[in-house]
Structure 1
Amino acid sequence: MRIYITSVFVEDQEKALRFYTEVLGFVKKHDVPLGGGARWLTVVSAEQPEGTELLLEPSGHPAVPPYKTALVKDGIPAVSFAVDDVQAEYERLRALGVEFTQEPTRMGPVTTAVFDDTCGNLVQIVRTS
């Protein structure tokens, strides 16, 4: 069994697509209209174009806003991405205007940082060594 797709809820799919591609460097994989303005919109790592897809899922369900609010309030990332160098990625993203809620922090064999994806989610970047 392998992970095929995972999702992150976003208020505005177009805004999310711009952030996840232009800022984070992901590549659009699928963009299928679903009606009512919603799309099946996925991105993948430029390094692994056939890898796990991230669905930029509309936040239309009534359970989503309180769920996202609670996660952000408690500082819990909605998703985590692996990077080769957390400090370098932190500096690159900061230079692009990304707001971090946690600077690079080493916790044993893991280094993490957390930022706001501008779409209502916290995102963690991580490097295990």
Structure 2
Amino acid sequence: MVITGIASTSIFVKDQQESLKFWVEKVDFEVICDLELESNFRWVEIAPRSSDSSVNLYPKSLISKKDLKPMPVIVFRTSDIHRTFNDLKARGVTFSRSPLKSILGIHAMFKDVDGNEFLILEKLKN
């Protein structure tokens, strides 16, 4: 299995723009990624300077919408998503999403024994 670390975790925020301003201007984090994804979903990823891990600013408003399921709070990092997927699946881990390529990279989603979902992400090399 090749999960190599935690890529990111989420902070649930009222206003992404206001929170982004706070973290960048007051805490001196840097913007890693600020993208508009499908369904007008904004992916805002920030991190302490020179860090291997990041934080996603996730809108609280999406948690309460019945048709939208919140993203996992923890995103694990891997350098080989297909190998990780196959290794975990062979060990009996249940996946709710097979590896899928997106603007963020290639990711898969698995569940623990309590039904909590986690994302595994292989960032694409530029």
Q: Same fold (TM over 0.5)?
A: no
Per the normalisation by structure 2, the TM-score is 0.44
Q: Which has the higher strand share?
A: 2
Per the normalisation by structure 1, the TM-score is 0.43
